[in-house]
Amino acid sequence: MKQLGAEVIGTFWLVLGGCGSAVLAAAFPGVGIGLHGVSLAFGLTVLTMAFAIGHISGCHLNPAVSIGLWAGGRFPANKLLPYIIAQVIGGVLAGGVLYLIASGKAGFSLSAGFASNGFAEHSPGGYSMQAALVTEVVMTAMFLFVIMGATDERAPKGFAPIAIGLALTLIHLISIPVTNTSVNPARSTGVALYAGGWAVEQLWLFWVAPIIGGMLGAVTYKAVASE
């Protein structure tokens, strides 16, 4: 239960910090943090929580990470469902807190997307479903490759949170224009349920693609790193 509680809190922080920066600060007049700031915010949420709860739950914060680590032989199958449920709960709670904050401003509307992930007309850059699918698979695969490598017992000790946080920052710098960057079904679900409409209708892609990518990345690392 301590591990699951840590995953709830960690995923809450990821969604509140990452999506919160997108909703509240990205376009703030005069000092908006933009794409670069939002990318950094997502990376910082993982970096800080990896140091805070990595020793408790492993700091997955992401169903695609848990499933990828299972595929890579690093995580037991009997913990998958509880971890995924805990991560989604954390994401949805964060979405609710963010909604309460954001809706306190006059003129707030969910029509702006509420930091939801999307493709085609709902892609920030107008990218197709195919482009979104490829992006999410490849980005999540590389994320798991970095996670597997940084946490390998042969890797330098104590630096994994930094590598993983910077990897997530880089992923957002690349893919925010395409899908608003998911690579995390819990993150996508946490805001889509409040945005409703198209965000929920397109949510399937942001479960399927990251899970496929996570497994591919973990299995690839396992093959490359095997002695």
pLDDT, tens digit (0-9, with 9 covering 90-100), for 13-28: 999 999 999 999 988 8
Mean pLDDT, residues 105-132:
93
Average pLDDT, whole number, for the chain? Answer: 95
Q: Residue 170: its pLDDT value, please?
A: 98
Mean pLDDT, residues 83-108:
95
- Find where tokens 């954001």 sit: 102
Residues 19 and 115: beta-carbon distance below 8 Å: yes
Mean pLDDT, residues 169-178:
97
CA 35 vs CA 10, 126, 128, 205, 225: distances in Å: 23, 16, 20, 22, 34
107 confidence band (pLDDT: 50, 70, 90): confident
Per-residue pLDDT for 204 more than 90? yes
DSSP for residue 17 = H
The backbone torsions φ and ψ at residue 28, rounded to the nearest 5 degrees and listed phi first, read -60, 130
Alpha helices of 21-79 — where are they, by DSSP H? 34-57, 63-71
CATH number at residue 18: 1.20.1080.10
Q: Give percent above pLDDT 90 in the chain.
A: 89
CA distance 169 to 143: 10
3-state secondary structure of 123: coil
Element (H, E) at 202: none
pTM above 0.85, yes or no: yes
Per-residue pLDDT for 227 more than 80? no
Buried b (16+ CB within 10 A) or exposed e, 35-54: bebbbbbbbbbbbbbbeebb
Q: Residue 111: its pLDDT value, please?
A: 83
Q: Which range has the worst mean pLDDT, 35-39, 41-45, 209-213, 223-227?
A: 223-227
Buried b (16+ CB within 10 A) or exposed e, 167-177: bbbbbbbebbe
Which of left, alpha, beta for 181 (phi over 0: left; psi -120 to 50: alpha)? left
Q: Into how many domains does the chain fold?
A: 1
Q: Residue 226: its pLDDT value, please?
A: 81
Which of 185, 112, 143 minimizes the C-alpha distance to 43? 143
Q: Residue 160: its pLDDT value, please?
A: 94
Per-residue pLDDT for 30 more than 90? no
Domain containing 41 equals: 2-225
199 confidence band (pLDDT: 50, 70, 90): very high
